[in-house]
Structure 1
Amino acid sequence: MNRLYHVPLSPFCRKVRLTLAEKKIEVELVEERYWEPSPDFLRRNPAGKVPILKMGTRTMSESQAICEYLEEISPQVPLMPKDADGRYEVRRLCAWFDDKFQNEVTSKLLYERVNKKVTGQGYPDSKNVKQGSARIKYHLDYMAWLLDQRRWLAGNEMTLADFTAAAHLSCLDYISDVDWHRHAVLKDWYAKIKSRPSFRPLLADQISGFPPAAHYADLDF
């Protein structure tokens, strides 16, 4: 049985979960308290990070590498374009969200408001929260600009770039930190992804002590 060691409200883990679900690869989900690393956990990934995917005798880490591996072994429901230019654009946007968006927004909002309490690291830093709330506007505007020119973020087909972005935004939407009224085109894009069967398990996630926003699981939000 395939097994994914994960944290429910992690954009990197959600990105892998979405890819697995789209490709209809069954997996057992195992929550991992990465902030209390056990010897077994560090043997699976010495970097001490999730997600970690175990498939047969292979144990894999790093969400982008995992997703591209899954694309290679299960090309049905393709999430990467066939042409080099298209693959470049998908990888560029995946890096944008997993690096720039993560550092400027996700780490400033989700990690401050949720992760600090869950991991016992204290209270939110209001300065970081304020910075994250300001920076997300820039990123939402950029996404809307892309979607004004394309059907999906990286082009005219849904790709891993869309799932990477949606993984981050879904975590922030859980705590009601996304202004969906800012751009109608962005809300429509998210509604299309949110309504996919692969997304439903994410909408059922519950974090102890942090109930989701009232609209979180509503497909007609």
Structure 2
Amino acid sequence: MAQSLLLHHFPLDPASRQARLALGEKKLSFEERPVRYWEFDEVFHALSPTGRTPVLEIGKGEGRILACELLAVLDWIETQAPKPALLSTDPAERAEAMRLRTWFDRKFEVEVDAPILYERMEKRLQRLGPPEAEPLRQGRTALKDNLTYMEGLLTRRDWLAGTTMSQADLAAAAHLSVLDYFGEIAWRSFPHLKTWYMRLKSRPSFRSLLADRLPGMAPVEHYADLDF
């Protein structure tokens, strides 16, 4: 019998979105429990002392396993459901996928997500006042630089890390999809990146992401369009 899976997540958290995409690509059925991370959640903090999403509960009762935070979740998914592989068996391509995944979850998060999503989303959720122009300017400058780098990779590769879709693509798509929710990406300036994103956006694993909505924060008009 398949183990029950319960994912504690915040819908517009890039790390949570990576977990959802990986579960979807592996065709693993799971239940969802959204977390309002800006409020104390006794149930969630009992599972994750750091308070960071996502957390995947695997099974119930005494045999329950807790995979806390993204890397633990991805590791469990890849180990328990090895096909389709999201990390190549080719050493060079595997290393490149892991490099890019780390780049997104560290460098991109700090330079781009932290200022833009804080100003556009988190301040509003926490009622901390209107966005400030200077952090947004800095974040958007860094976003353009990072997108230019991605565009360069995709001019010579089918997928970000090489010949097959990998965790690097899911990481990139998770981060970019949140920024796209708020209309922060000038897709016309990055044609190879746009084509890559359209391919990912059309996959079944992406459907639940395109249905996400935050109360009082509607996405841009093209957000759920597959041909945009």
**Normalising to structure 2: TM-score of the pair?**
0.94
Match of 2:201 in 1: 194
Contact 2:67 2:76 in 1 (8 A): no
Q: Partners of 1:171 and 1:68 in 2: how far apart?
A: 23
1:83 aligns with 2:86: no
The Cα of 1:122 is off from its aligned counterpart by: 3.1
Equivalent in 200, 216, 219 of residue 209 of structure 1: 216
Match of 1:26 in 2: 29
The Cα of 1:35 is off from its aligned counterpart by: 1.8
1:53 aligns with 2:56: yes
Match of 1:161 in 2: 168
Q: Indicate the SS of the match to 2:127.
A: coil
The Cα of 1:84 is off from its aligned counterpart by: 2.4
Q: Partners of 1:41 and 1:198 in 2: how far apart?
A: 25
Match of 1:152 in 2: 159
The Cα of 1:40 is off from its aligned counterpart by: 2.4
Q: Indicate the SS of the match to 1:149.
A: coil
Q: Indicate the SS of the match to 1:198.
A: helix
Unaligned runs of 5+ in 2: none
Q: Indicate the SS of the match to 1:4.
A: strand
Q: Partners of 1:35 and 1:59 in 2: how far apart?
A: 22
The Cα of 1:126 is off from its aligned counterpart by: 1.9
Match of 1:112 in 2: 119
Unaligned runs of 5+ in 1: none
Shift >6 Å, 4+ stretches: none
Q: Partners of 1:201 and 1:188 in 2: how far apart?
A: 20
Residue by residue over 1:37-95, the C-alpha shift from the partner in whole angstroms, topping out at 9 and shown as x without a partner, is 23322220001111111011011112123112201110111100012222211111001
Match of 1:172 in 2: 179
Residue by residue over 1:171-213, the C-alpha shift from the partner in whole angstroms, topping out at 9 and shown as x without a partner, is 0000000110111111000000000010011000111011010
**Normalising to structure 1: TM-score of the pair?**
0.97
Q: Partners of 1:139 and 1:114 in 2: how far apart?
A: 21
Aligned residues: 221
Match of 1:3 in 2: 6
Stretch of structure 1 that moved more, 82-91 or 198-207: 82-91
In percent, how many aligned pairs have the same letter? 44
Letter in 1 for 2:200: I
The Cα of 1:220 is off from its aligned counterpart by: 0.5
Match of 1:35 in 2: 38
Stretch of structure 1 that moved more, 155-164 or 32-41: 32-41
